[in-house]
């Protein structure tokens, strides 16, 4: 699959081209940059503007995310560069479509434009090199005194499809990337968002967070526990990512809420709940049903059921609490992954309509809990 470029790489290319034009009067097109691991991609400029009257220059690059399903693919990332007074250094500014940090827990201070540390460093290095080459700094090798305003066309609209509003990044997108390259596999980005969600919740003083498999389960968790938005983790299929990060960065209580079939996979010991990587084990459900009082005929019917939901319906009709049994086992499997971390876990199983079909009360390391 074809890799692509991060927003940070695109912003670096755009700012390098803009500053070169500000000093020389000419835009390099394409503009070549060096990524943190040594790759040297070239970027064609989509827009350019040199305003001698205001002493500023702007260049823009269209982001190519390769084969990754990235919501910022095709976005136009602009950088406008203008001179500042001596001693200012490189100052970053959020233009239209780039967010501003409003909550602690992220690698940027509150009030800063959402341009992450590695892209900032990439831009500083490239702009310093441009200044060295074309005499834009007071001393050779010194950082130039310039403002770099990064903007993204339609960025505020695109950001609604990201975690930014929940993380307290308001007004647009973040400029991201640690390598400059987008690998066409979005799991790493999702998992990184989970980690940042835990960081933000802890920084906000939240002691209870919820990992939810989707929007319906999130609504259930909020209704039952009255959690604020920044305590909600969009877990998706990555139960293991939530548990492993919370193990290293504990909170007092973790609620896991999701569809019965997905959480039956967690109950069976799977940490990746995606249908391509784990399946509902009806034999496992049949054994749980036996433990809950099912006779052999019912257990065999559960083992032969077409779906996990069908197995649940069979047990519900017979008065066997399969939902509670799955929730309890999922809780215990979660505690095993937490390895004694000081976190109490409870689990809520729901059906497709959002009805609660199984619950396991909070239990911590070595603690007790009851099903209901």
How far are the Cα atoms of 125, 209, 341 from residue 234, in angstroms, in the given order?
35, 11, 21
Question: What does each of the 372 residues of the chain score in pLDDT, given as a tens digit?
Answer: 688 999 999 999 999 999 999 999 999 999 999 999 899 999 999 999 999 888 999 999 999 998 777 889 999 999 999 999 999 999 999 999 999 999 888 889 999 999 999 999 999 999 999 999 998 776 777 899 999 999 999 999 999 988 899 888 999 999 998 889 886 656 777 888 899 999 999 999 999 999 999 889 999 999 999 999 999 999 999 999 999 999 999 999 999 999 999 999 999 999 999 877 889 999 999 999 999 999 999 999 999 988 898 899 999 999 999 999 999 999 999 999 999 999 999 999 999 889 999 999 999 987 644 333
Looking at 193-317, which runs of residues are DSSP E strands?
A: 208-212, 232-234, 253-259
Q: Helical H runs in 135-232?
A: 155-159, 164-167, 187-203, 215-225
Under 8 Å between Cβ of 322 and 288: yes
- In angstroms, rounded to a whole number, what is the distance separating the alpha carbons of residues 361 and 359? 7
Under 8 Å between Cβ of 97 and 152: yes
47, β-bridge pairs: 60
Under 8 Å between Cβ of 129 and 32: no
Which helix (H) or strand (E) segment holds residue 297: the answer is helix 296-303
CB atoms within 10 A of CB 73: 16
Phi, psi of 186 (to 5 degrees): -80, -5
- Residue 302: per-residue pLDDT: 96
Which residue carries 């999922």 as its tokens? 330
- In angstroms, rounded to a whole number, what is the distance separating the alpha carbons of residues 364 and 43? 52
Q: What is the pTM of this model?
A: 0.72
- In angstroms, rounded to a whole number, what is the distance separating the alpha carbons of residues 179 and 276? 28
259, β-bridge pairs: 350
Give 143's DSSP letter: P
Under 8 Å between Cβ of 204 and 212: no
- Residue 68: per-residue pLDDT: 75
Q: How many helices (H) and strands (E) does the chain have?
A: 12, 18
């Amino acid at each position: 699959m074809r890799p692509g470029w991060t927003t940070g790489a695109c912003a670096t290319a755009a700012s390098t081209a803009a500053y070169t034009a500000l000093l020389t009067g000419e835009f390099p097109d394409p503009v070549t940059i060096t990524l943190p691991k040594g790759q040297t991609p070239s970027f064609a400029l989509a827009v350019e503007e040199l305003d001698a009257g205001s002493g500023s220059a702007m260049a823009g690059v269209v982001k190519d995310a390769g084969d990754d399903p990235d919501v910022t693919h095709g976005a136009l990332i602009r950088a406008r560069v203008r001179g500042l007074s001596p001693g200012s250094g490189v100052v970053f500014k959020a233009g239209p479509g780039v967010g501003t940090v409003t909550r602690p827990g992220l690698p940027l201070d509150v009030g800063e434009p959402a341009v992450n540390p590695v892209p900032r460093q990439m831009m500083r290095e490239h702009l310093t090199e441009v200044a060295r080459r074309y005499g834009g700094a007071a001393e050779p090798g010194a950082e130039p005194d310039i403002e770099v305003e990064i903007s993204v066309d339609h960025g505020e609209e695109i950001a609604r499809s990201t975690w930014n509003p929940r993380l307290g990044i308001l007004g647009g997108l973040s400029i991201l990337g640690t390598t400059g390259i987008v690998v066409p596999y979005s799991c790493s980005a999702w998992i990184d968002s989970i980690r940042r969600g835990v960081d933000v919740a802890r920084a906000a003083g939240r002691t209870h967070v919820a990992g939810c498999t989707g929007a319906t389960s999130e609504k259930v968790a909020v209704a039952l526990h009255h959690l604020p938005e920044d305590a909600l983790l969009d877990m998706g299929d990555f139960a293991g990512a939530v548990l492993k990060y919370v193990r290293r960065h504990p909170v007092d209580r973790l609620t896991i809420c999701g569809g019965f079939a997905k959480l039956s996979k967690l109950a069976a010991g799977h940490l990746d709940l995606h249908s391509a990587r784990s399946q509902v084990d009806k034999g496992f459900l049949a054994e749980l049903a036996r433990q809950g009082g099912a006779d052999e005929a019912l257990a065999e019917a559960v083992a032969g059921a077409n779906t996990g939901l069908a197995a649940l319906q069979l047990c519900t009709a017979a008065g066997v609490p399969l939902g509670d049994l799955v929730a309890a086992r999922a809780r215990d499997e979660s505690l095993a992954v937490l390895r004694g971390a000081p976190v109490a876990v409870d689990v809520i199983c729901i059906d497709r309509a959002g009805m609660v079909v199984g619950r396991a009360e909070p239990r911590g390391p070595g603690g007790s809990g009851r099903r209901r």
